[in-house]
Amino acid sequence: MNHASPDRARADDAPARVPTPEQLELYVQPVVRLGDRRIVGWEALVRGSNAVGVMRTPADFIPRAEQSGEIHEIGQWVLQESLGWLRGHAGPGRTVAVNVSALQFEHPEFVELVAQALSDADVAGERLILELTESVQLTDRAHARAVVDALRDIGVRVAIDDVGAGFADAELVRTLPAAVLKLDRSIVARMSMTGARAAVRRWVELANGCGMSVVAEGIQTAEDSAAAYELGCRFGQGTLYGPPVPAWSVQIPSPCGC
């Protein structure tokens, strides 16, 4: 009979375990202005590893973290690390976007935790965007609206993420006072198709009517970028401009260019 080594067994068991903060690593991906490809901000992403160094994406552990309640600890770690990195490395005036789950968003002290993290990092609220995926089910939208209003009072903006991924809820976009709408990569990748182009145009028109800016995610080619811009998206994100990389590896030119 073959027996797996202890290390192999731990590696195979990796998806069942939620990484500890010591096993998390912050990654970032640039968000650019499509007109001139100037970096205007970054999206913060988290990666995890297990005891034998197997790298894991959020899809591997976030659902289990939400079930166990550990999502609050992970979410706070990502927020604090992102703001600390933003202050020292992201470049003047640029923003950082941090993903939050519905469980975090509905926590009774969520706004206070965000405000404290901003204060600890000495970062203005205007430089933070909190991304709420469109697919999450907010159990109390009146409360959600109140949370967004409270965040706005401290300068923090909210983005509705993954729009067009099949969970379309135009009513959420209309009723939640968010500042940013992010088109999912699945619809951006199909912009050469008439139906997808029409859908993108409708989302852009809805966002414009609500005073929201639009970010097209998953842009991989110059053709994707041109199509998104033509359809009214003013900001973009994707491998064309840079893949997610470890935050520590980002080199920002100094203001003097030296």
CATH number of 64's domain: 3.20.20.450
Evaluate whether residue 25 is within a structural domain. yes
Q: Which helix (H) or strand (E) holds 31?
A: strand 24-33
Looking at the 3D structure of the chain, how many domains does it have? 1
Name the H helices within 91-192.
102-105, 110-121, 141-153, 170-175, 185-188
Round to whole Å and give the CA distance between 35 and 236.
10
Q: What is the pLDDT of residue 241?
A: 97
Evaluate whether residue 141 is within a structural domain. yes
Expressed as residue numbers, the domain containing 112 is 19-249
Evaluate whether residue 236 is within a structural domain. yes
Evaluate whether residue 11 is within a structural domain. no
Q: Which residue has the tokens 């640039």?
A: 30
Evaluate whether residue 95 is within a structural domain. yes
Evaluate whether residue 8 is within a structural domain. no
Of 100, 39, 35, nearest to 242 (Cα)?
A: 39
Evaluate whether residue 153 is within a structural domain. yes
Residue-by-residue pLDDT tens, the chain, 258 positions: 444 445 444 444 545 578 787 889 999 999 999 999 999 999 999 988 766 566 777 777 777 888 888 889 999 999 999 999 999 876 778 999 999 988 899 899 999 999 999 999 999 999 999 998 765 666 677 888 999 999 999 999 999 998 887 655 788 888 889 999 999 999 999 988 888 899 999 999 999 999 999 999 999 999 999 999 999 999 999 999 999 999 999 976 544 443
Q: Which residue has the tokens 């509705």?
A: 160
Q: What's the predicted TM-score (pTM) here?
A: 0.87
Beta pairing class for 95-100 and 128-133: parallel
Contact 197, 227 (CB under 8 A): yes
Evaluate whether residue 254 is within a structural domain. no
